[in-house]
A and B are shown apart, each in its own frame.
Chain A
């Protein structure tokens, strides 16, 4: 198991190098450059040369790349071209905010999706099942920006309620922070809930017709035990896989929702970085997101071994 984890972590290295080179190349392709963005109409050849030297843009590309990666290995992702602030601590701050949103969204999604998915599979083709399936289909089909806009419209028209515009951290003011986060988390959660519900239902139906479920019932098992201890645990592998993918996607923050609700998360940071050609910010964010994704995947694979004794890595 330990060897497996080490091996998996080693495969991370070529992936991250590949990603960083790809980002580097693509960033060169992006039209417009950061210096003219910073200087605007005050640009003169002298000022430009000074800034290029300051940002290291006067050196050959290869050298730029290696000097960047040399520092990145030590955890130093450089400074933002725009603000001059170190990128790594900022990524961490932003990540904490995105992570809070992601965790809230997951909790909401699971509270809705798992019980309803299980119920739907047990009451197959009943009225409840039909309702759950329609709700799940809506969940996966309504784009988050559409539901966000509609909900904002609804709250403003019906209750004259507006979510706070200025972001307040979790530890600055818990109440205000929750007020800001709960609606976006609910919207993200409802989208996730749709697919989790569908996956739970189909996976449960698959397991419920297995022989061992009948065998467990034949032993005189209470339904509670049959459903949760046996059926649900056995059907949880595809559910865990799906949830892992969702978390992986959420970790990068959710650009659209963060934009709509002015939440300064990782997604918004990346988006600003891209539009401002702020190379160190984009490079840092993208690498960090890739890293998180691989880690989440690894965690999911390890989780498999706890769910199913037939899965082992050696």
Chain B
């Protein structure tokens, strides 16, 4: 009897409006929503906010300090840090959202299959999940990326694969709970196909834990992308990534500390916002976990 394997019963998602309102009422939830909202706005409005071309080098203004022209200063190529930060938000979110989409999609499918067929199929799927889970996520993502080649899409795929197991486990647990309940028997007696029943009942059941997990996975995915780019194996130049900006900045840290400060600040605030939002979402959607 391992506690971590215990099935997590999900709850159906209440109406959207009430969730948002409940989140807003909680000061933490409000802070998370505002933080996440700002990052999303920054990413969406990047072309209008950014003041310079992210790749444009300016040999006259290398390592310029923050000021009226370059709000966050410039890097060793004379590129505007503010613009790169703004576009970096776009890259982070894109990678995060696509990666979590991949993870949630495959996780959902695999979890359904594992929970539905049981037996050997389930053992095999869960063993693969355990193996994926066994690896430090960065190491596995790096491994996949070096096999596929470094590109934005491959970074997304790698981070996506790494995150599949959490979703698979949730869905499988939920399928098992649903299977053991009476209403499956009832639904079957009115002649619904078994698989159809499962899809219809499992989906609303996993929505709440899924949403919570997706929010937390998003912050994890953004973190993994930043770490990979930091190591030079994620987003490649000239695309701006907060991780690679921070990594590049280390060489000029002494002369230009703002090169370190701004990307670090934005990474931290973004991940913090997603984590706060995830926590508050869990409190709202899964009240029995609230302590």
Contacts and interface: CB of A to CB of B under 8 A. Distances in A.
The answer to whether A and B touch in the complex, with CB atoms under 8 Å apart, is yes
Interface of A: 14-15, 18-19, 22, 26-27, 29-31, 137-138, 140-143, 145-146, 149-150, 152-153, 156-157, 201-202, 205-206, 237-238, 241, 248-249, 252-256, 259, 267, 270-271, 274-275, 282, 286, 289-290, 293-294, 301, 304, 310-311
Given A149-B264, A249-B136, A290-B134, A238 B243 contact: no
B131 A18 contact: yes
A26 B143 contact: yes
B3 A238 contact: yes
A146 B146 contact: no
Contacts of B276: 137
22 contacts: A18-B131, A19-B131, A26-B147, A27-B147, A141-B219, A142-B272, A143-B268, A145-B226, A146-B226, A146-B264, A149-B249, A149-B260, A150-B260, A153-B260, A238-B4, A255-B138, A255-B142, A256-B138, A256-B227, A286-B143, A293-B134, A301-B2
B182 to A, nearest CB: 28
What is the interface residue range for chain B against chain A? 35 or more
B291 A311 contact: no
A311 B275 CA distance: 33
B147 A290 contact: no
Interface string B239-253: 000010011011001
B17 interface: no
B231 A259 contact: yes
Given A30-B146, A156-B254, A149 B246 contact: yes
Interface in B252-289: 253-254, 257, 260-261, 264, 267-268, 271-272, 275-276, 279, 289
A271 B227 CA distance: 13
B202 interface: no
A38 B158 CA distance: 28
Query: Which 7 pairs from chain A and chain B are nearest by CB?
Result: A293-B134, A141-B272, A205-B291, A146-B264, A29-B147, A252-B136, A26-B147
A275 B264 CA distance: 26
Given A150-B264, A311-B1, A255 B139 contact: yes
A311 B2 CA distance: 8
A74 B147 CA distance: 28
B183 to A, nearest CB: 29
Contacts of A304: 2
Contacts of B142: 255, 271, 274
A156 B227 CA distance: 23
A255 B228 CA distance: 10
A237 B6 CA distance: 13
Which of A152, A157, A253, A271 lies at the interface centre, i.e. has the most chain B CB atoms within 10 A of its CB? Answer: A271
Contacts of B223: 143
Nearest to B149: A31
Nearest to A274: B146
Contacts of B77: none
Given A29-B148, A30-B146, A255-B142, 12 more contacts: A141-B219, A141-B271, A145-B230, A150-B264, A157-B257, A238-B4, A241-B2, A274-B146, A275-B233, A289-B134, A301-B2, A304-B2
Interface string B1-18: 111100000000000000
Contacts of A256: 138, 227, 230-231
Given A15-B127, A18-B127, A146 B267 contact: yes
A141 B147 CA distance: 29
Given A143-B227, A241-B3, A248 B275 contact: no
Contacts of B250: 149, 152
B61 interface: no
Contacts of B226: 143, 145-146
Contacts of B146: 30, 274-275
B53 interface: no
B69 interface: no
Contact of B135 (A143, A241, A252, A254): A252
A137 B272 contact: yes
B257 A289 contact: no
Given A30-B147, A145-B246, A149-B264, A290 B230 contact: no
B26 interface: no
B144 interface: yes
B127 A289 contact: no
A202 B288 CA distance: 12
Nearest to A138: B272
B170 to A, nearest CB: 16
